[in-house]
Amino acid sequence: MPRGVTELRLKTIVLGYDGTRSAERALERAAAIAQAFGAKIVVTDVAAPQPVQAAPGAFGLVPYYEYTSDIGLRADEARWREHRGRIDSLLDGRGIEHEFAGVVGEPAAEIVDVAESRDADLIVVGTRQAGFLERLFGGSVSQGVARRAHCDVLVVHPADDDAGS
């Protein structure tokens, strides 16, 4: 190997998945990479926490919500089962080792946490063309993952016919 070049090692890939078209594209890309490198995929499906109690916020203008992960977990179990069935079917059919992590929280932070806990070599996330207000107020999950991750991040962009999905 030439001097200064390191060997590319991909043993664990974390995939952010939410069932959207962009997540499906990311799943396909992660599967192709996993096959090429013999890597394992950890599919991370993040549910948003559900508010359980509202209280007045600062100066009574913005409400403050208490969140619980238990309610969010129960609400999303059916969605996770559906997603897991789709993922198992695709990845088992290709002989790719994988596991499913259904978690509750802020998506970018949870995806990065799963990647760190599994010592991932790569995170794969899909993206879509966010509108102006979405970029202004929330950014995107893919941007948040790219900013926070301590490993490489592959952002899979939409196909031309998927723009806006």
Q: Convert the pLDDT of each residue in 88-138 to its tens digit.
A: 999 999 999 999 998 888 999 999 999 999 999 999 999 876 655 555 555
Q: What is the pTM of this model?
A: 0.78
> Where is pLDDT greater, at 66 or 105?
105
The 10 Å Cβ neighbour count of residue 73 is 16
Count Cβ atoms within 10 A of the Cβ of residue 38 and give its class: 0-12 exposed, 13-18 middle, 19 or more buried: exposed
Q: pLDDT class for 69, splitting at 50, 70, 90?
A: very low
Q: Which residues contact 156 (CB under 8 A, 6 or more apart)?
A: 22, 25, 26, 29, 124, 125, 126, 127
Tell me if residue 115 falls in helix, strand or coil.
helix
Give the residue-averaged pLDDT of 75-94.
Answer: 86
- pLDDT score of 47: 84
pLDDT at 5 over 90: no
Instruction: Give the Cα separation of 123 and 19 in Å (integer).
Output: 17
How many residues would you count in the chain?
165
> Where is pLDDT greater, at 163 or 45?
45
CA 79, 81, 145, 124 dihedral sign is: negative
pLDDT tens by residue, 12-38: 999 999 988 999 999 999 999 999 999
